[in-house]
Structures are given as structure tokens and as C-alpha cells.
Amino acid sequence: MSRLLRRLGRAYREEIVEKQGEARLLSAIAFFATFLVVRIVTHLLKAESGGGGLEIGGLHIHHVVFGIVLLLVFGVLDVNGLLPRARAALFGMGSALVLDEFALVLNLADVYWAPQGRESIDAVIIFASVLWLAFLGRGLLIAAGDELTSARS
């Protein structure tokens, strides 16, 4: 098993680190993890109280606001070339928060739980597909598959 892990680690170094793909991988992981957590939390809040979320002075603050802030912070870090790993994670997290409420922005109405809320899921699926194809790339998957099949031999 440790031999397999070493070989997978080598494939990671060769296909991700050496090809400058680590930031792309981090942004994809941050995107998927943030989307999953946000969906779970929103469903739990709805189940508990029928709504929930953050309110300040009676104003419900949608998580798209936090997504926009994270994307703005990402942009500042990016144009200044600072903290590549942090900005990769901020990009993934901000993108997930914005796209999870894409339907709200598109319709200019709180349609998260309405049938139009499906537009957010569609946007996430499209963006996640782009992340998977562009950010993770075929190289790592092929190398990991080769390592897994050769490990059986």
C-alpha cells in the first residue's frame, strides 16, 4: 500500500506540481467543498426554522454577498501576484458561493427554494465541469489510472 501511495504521490508531483497545476487543483477542491457545505447548511437551516441564515437589522444577507467579497479579495491578491495558494482557494470558495445563488442574481429575486432555483444548480454543474476538465486536466487522471492498473500487476 505504501508503494502505491508513493507512486500516486509521484504522479501528483509530475502531473500537478511540475505542470503548475496545484493552484487549479486547490481552487477546484475549494469550490466543491464550499458548494457542498453551503448546500448542507442551507438545507439544515430551512429544515430547522423554515428560513434561517444571517440577518443584520432585519436584512437577510445572502451568501452571494460573501462570494462577491471573496472574489474581490482574490482579484486584489491576483493582480498583485500574492499568495497563489490562498487566492486559488478564495477563487474556488467565492465562485461556489456566487454560483449557489446564481438564480437569485439572474432573476433579481430570492428564488433559492423556488423552481427557478434550479438555475443555480445548472450554473454549478456547468462551472464544475469546466473546473474538472480545465483545472484538473486529463494528465493526472491518466497517470493515476496507469499507476492503479500497474499496481495490480
* DSSP class per residue in 60-123: EE-HHHHHHHHHHHHHHHHHTT--HHHHHHHHHHHHHHHHHTHHHHHHTS--TTSGGGHHHHHH
Helix (H, G, I), strand (E, B) or coil at 55: strand
pLDDT-derived band at 130 (thresholds 50, 70, 90) equals: confident
Instruction: Give the cell for residue 90.
Output: 478564495
Q: What is the pTM of this model?
A: 0.80
Whether residue 50 is predicted with pLDDT greater than 80 in this model: the reply is no
Structure-model confidence comparison of residues 42 and 16, the more confident one: 42
pLDDT-derived band at 147 (thresholds 50, 70, 90) equals: confident
Mean pLDDT confidence for 58-86: 94
Phi, psi (deg, nearest 5) at residue 56: -125, 115
71-80 tens-digit pLDDT: 999 999 999 9
